[in-house]
Amino acid sequence: MFINNSKFKGVIPPLAAPLTPDEKIDEKSLRKLIDHAISGGVHGIFILGTTGEGMRITDKECERAIQITINYLAGRAVLLVGCSDFGTQRTIEKMQKMEKEGIDAFVVTPSYFLPGYTSKELISHYTKIAQKSSIPIFIYNLPINQQPDIEVEALDEISKIDNIAGVKDSSQDMDHLMQVIGIFKDRKDFRTFVGTEVYM
């Protein structure tokens, strides 16, 4: 299945989730943060990733953050939403609760804090998730939280799964990143985003 990825481009920063002392989304501050990012000329925003407290706040507050962002963003930029959990089925259930018109893509890691994945297990993880989502999926390679690094060969196989739109690579490994760019540079249906400041 060809995914029209032309809207996924440029700079898409992760936004911190502004919270009140009782860990509720601070709506006023979230709106100010969105305005600040948009005024800086970004092409999209990414909420509820690891920077955006997606692992820490309740599902109810995650859903609230998404709805506030969709309503206030009002199509001014593309919206990527982090959706990861400790297992495949947990991730699918969380994703299905989050699905809303106005989300352009989900960004999904392998399961957190469970080292030793095989390539076969990673391919199975993303296949099951992609099949259950009506929204395109970005692979989130974040070895610091989901050891080990996703190998380039496995990433190539996962990229062939229907509904997989691209990868956000936060491996902090320049050799790995250059291999990824080399594999996907001619793929118009797959986007590669650099997800770390180490290269800046």
Name the active-site residue from 60, 97, 140, 199.
Answer: 140
Q: What pLDDT score does 177 carry? A: 82
Name the active-site residue from 160, 168, 188, 199.
Answer: 168
Residues 80 and 12: beta-carbon distance below 8 Å: yes
DSSP string for residues in 76-105: SSEEEEE---SSHHHHHHHHHHH--TT--E
Predicted structure pTM score:
0.90
Cβ burial of 74 (10 Å; 0-12, 13-18, 19+) is: exposed
Token pair recorded at residue 41:
């000329």
**Tokens 């957190």 — which residue?**
112
Taking only the tens place, the pLDDT of each residue in 164-189 is 999 998 877 788 788 888 888 888 88
168 is an active site residue: yes
Taking only the tens place, the pLDDT of each residue in 51-87 is 778 788 998 999 999 999 999 999 999 999 999 888 8
